[in-house]
A and B are shown apart, each in its own frame.
Chain A
Amino acid sequence: MLSEFAFVGVLIVFASLLPIAGLGFAWLVRPKKPNPIKKSTYECGLETIGGTWVQFRAQYYIFALMFVVFDVEAVFLLPWAVAYDQLPAYALIEAVIFIAILALALVYAWRKDALRWS
């Protein structure tokens, strides 16, 4: 009894070999002349001041959070979609309720300006 993921396992092995082979070949072929100027951080030609950190913006986090919520919703809708033809008519109502509640979530986020980038 072979898992249907067996091929994926084999492909992972070969797919990992590709970048290793590419990088290995490049390592053999390319010049290696490091100097401190080359190895400094790129800042359009200027020197960096201070450590590398970014102003905390809740905005980025909210987008990721919206994504989690809608991703989970989509995951629950998938078994419904696969079984849809065999399900009775009220399955449509159930799913509409499900989607409506989550559309409500989207509307809430929209109205509360959570989706604004600026």
Chain B
Amino acid sequence: MLTNQMVQILVFVILTIMTLGGGLGVVSSRNLFHSALFLVLSLVGVVGYYALLDAGFLAVVQLLIYVGAIAVLILFAIMLSRGLMARRQHQRNEQWWIAALVVLLVFVVLLVVLGQVDWPVADEQALLSPNVSVGQLGQVLLGPYMIPFEVISVLLLAALVGAIILARET
């Protein structure tokens, strides 16, 4: 019978195909709009990862903010700034083989280093307990991390003011 473990692995594989395939699609698609949609696919893959890891709040926030707000922003920018079937863009870069080599080297280095670290694995019981919850996040956010909480609002204010100033100049 299909065990829980197998299902999780299957879902993980599907999500990996979505995320990495989406990323590949972003850089290799010739149509800018399709690139943006591949980005959305990739972000949805990340939502799946969070859900698989039982980080429900993060999954939903990723969907809400990244897919629902930032992807829409990116799509707006694309749709507003160029015609529909603009010249099919060929994403080319003559030195792609050097880049590929560097990327491969970085990958190998990361693989070796990460393989040698003794990762502390979270206790299954600890993950199941109801303490790992949004309520606890709230208590931490308004307790020890109070200053970053307030600074975030200032950051958002600054971002909005900056964007409005830039847009007003157009």
A contacts B: CB pair < 8 Å: yes
A contact residues vs B (CB 8 Å cutoff): 1-5, 8-9, 51-54, 56-58, 60-62, 64-69, 71-73, 75-76, 78-84, 86-87, 91, 94-95, 97-98, 101-102, 104-105, 108-109, 112, 114
Tell me the smallest distance from the CB of B69 to a CB of chain A, in Å.
4
Asked, given contacts A73-B153, A80-B138, A87-B138, whether A53 binds B170 with beta carbons under 8 Å apart, the answer is: no
B contact residues vs A (CB 8 Å cutoff): 4, 11, 51-52, 54, 56-57, 59, 61, 64-65, 68-70, 72-73, 76-77, 79-85, 124, 127-128, 133-139, 141-143, 146, 149-150, 152-154, 156-157, 159-161, 163-164, 167-168, 170
Report yes or no: A105 in contact with B157, Cβ–Cβ below 8 A: yes
Interchain Cβ contacts within 8 Å, total number:
144
Tell me the smallest distance from the CB of A101 to a CB of chain B, in Å.
4
Knowing that A94-B149, A108-B157 are A-B contacts, what are 12 other residue pairs whose CB atoms are under 8 Å apart, sorted by A's residue number? Answer: A3-B54, A52-B83, A56-B80, A58-B167, A58-B168, A65-B163, A68-B69, A79-B57, A83-B142, A94-B150, A95-B142, A105-B160
> Within the assembled complex, what's the spacing in Å between the Cα atoms of A90 and B46?
36
Chain B residue nearest to A78 (CB atoms) is B134
Per DSSP, chain A at the interface is: helix
A79 touches which of B73, B83, B141 (Cβ 8 Å): B141
Chain A residue nearest to B152 (CB atoms) is A76
Report yes or no: B153 in contact with A112, Cβ–Cβ below 8 A: no
Could you name 29 residue pairs across A and B whose Cβ atoms are closer than 8 Å? Answer: A1-B4, A3-B52, A4-B56, A5-B52, A51-B85, A53-B82, A53-B84, A54-B80, A58-B167, A61-B77, A64-B72, A65-B163, A67-B69, A68-B69, A71-B65, A78-B138, A79-B141, A81-B138, A82-B133, A82-B134, A83-B136, A87-B138, A87-B139, A91-B142, A95-B142, A102-B153, A109-B160, A109-B164, A112-B164
